[in-house]
């Protein structure tokens, strides 16, 4: 296992970052550094717990590996599968994808927003990283729609068509509800952003979050159409590097 920085290396790094011999300045830098390390560490651990859950591992198995009780593991990590996502960190393009997903769900007469709707919603932002990665791999809106039609067919309309209300476009509105897996993807995107050291959630993080659960419809479609997690990671990193340059 690759060793992390030892105590002396960490102290030296904090003193260097503080840029001052003042004890309070160093203490403030230490507090900020440890907080960042803790946040990143929790996000990394949550990432691998998510992958284990997505692969069908039980909380009993996961808790045994972590060396804690099943109840403790469930309390600490289960929220990402059930909690309603928070969108404060989402970019405008990522918010547009989520809004588009709700509109797609309504157009298909679904009373829920699933991972399949989120995947289709990505094509509403063709200039975003996620859509560019999908198209690069030949995964078009048409091919995804065909796959979604097979896995989650549109329902026949039972009510007269109405204009969507302004409330339905609010990301914090209660309708339409997200499925458990869609909520998990939306929460997991925040973890993906933290893993990459970003303080925002973009469409690229949403795309990566699909792979946290191998049983989701969107993930199955991506894998069936030839985009695995490693290829998605490589293309997203390349796109981000191009932006920074």
DSSP per residue, 65-86: HHTS-HHHHHHHHTHHHHSPP-
Q: Please give the Cα distance from 9 to 15 (Å, whole number).
A: 10
Per-residue model confidence as pLDDT tens for the chain (245 residues): 677 778 888 899 899 999 989 988 999 999 988 887 776 677 677 778 777 776 667 878 888 898 888 777 766 776 554 455 668 889 999 999 999 999 999 999 999 999 999 999 999 999 999 999 999 999 999 999 999 999 999 998 765 444 443 333 444 444 678 998 999 899 889 888 888 888 899 999 999 999 988 889 999 999 999 999 999 999 999 999 987 76
In 3D space, the residue among 118, 129, 150, 130 whose CA is nearest the CA of residue 218 turns out to be 118
The pLDDT value recorded for residue 42 is: 72
The pLDDT value recorded for residue 2 is: 72
Contact 187, 85 (CB under 8 A): yes
* C-alpha triplet 237, 240, 242: angle, nearest 5°: 110
In 3D space, the residue among 101, 113, 131 whose CA is nearest the CA of residue 202 turns out to be 131
The pLDDT value recorded for residue 131 is: 97
The pLDDT value recorded for residue 40 is: 67
The pLDDT value recorded for residue 17 is: 92
- What pTM was estimated for this model as a whole? 0.67
Q: Please give the Cα distance from 184 to 107 (Å, whole number).
A: 23
113 DSSP β-pair partners: 178
Say which CATH class 92-244 falls into.
mainly alpha
The pLDDT value recorded for residue 201 is: 94
In 3D space, the residue among 218, 166, 168, 169 whose CA is nearest the CA of residue 189 turns out to be 218
Two tokens at 127? 């200039």
The pLDDT value recorded for residue 135 is: 97
Domain boundaries, the chain: 7-77, 92-244
């Amino acid at each position: 296992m690759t060793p992390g920085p030892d105590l002396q290396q960490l102290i030296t790094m904090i003193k260097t970052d503080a840029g001052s011999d003042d004890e309070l300045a160093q203490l403030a830098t230490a507090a900020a550094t440890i907080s960042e390390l803790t946040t990143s560490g929790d996000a990394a651990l949550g990432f691998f717990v998510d992958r284990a859950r997505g692969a069908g591992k039980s909380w009993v198995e996961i808790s045994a590996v972590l060396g804690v009780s099943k109840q403790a593991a469930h309390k600490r990590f289960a929220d990402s599968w059930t909690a309603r996502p928070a969108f404060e960190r989402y970019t405008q393009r990522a918010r547009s994808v989520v809004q588009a997903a709700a509109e797609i769900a309504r157009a298909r007469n679904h009373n829920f927003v699933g991972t399949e709707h989120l995947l289709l919603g990505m094509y509403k932002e063709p200039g975003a990283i996620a859509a560019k990665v999908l198209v690069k791999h030949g995964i078009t809106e048409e091919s995804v729609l065909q796959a979604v039609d097979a896995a989650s067919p549109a329902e026949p309309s039972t009510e007269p068509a109405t204009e969507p209300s302004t409330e339905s476009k609010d990301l914090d509105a209660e309708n339409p509800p997200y499925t458990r897996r869609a909520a998990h993807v939306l929460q997991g995107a925040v973890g993906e952003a933290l893993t990459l050291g970003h303080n925002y959630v973009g469409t690229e993080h949403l795309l990566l979050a699909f792979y946290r659960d191998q049983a989701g419809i969107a993930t199955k479609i991506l894998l069936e159409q030839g985009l695995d997690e490693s290829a998605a990671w490589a293309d997203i990193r390349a796109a981000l590097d191009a932006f920074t340059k």
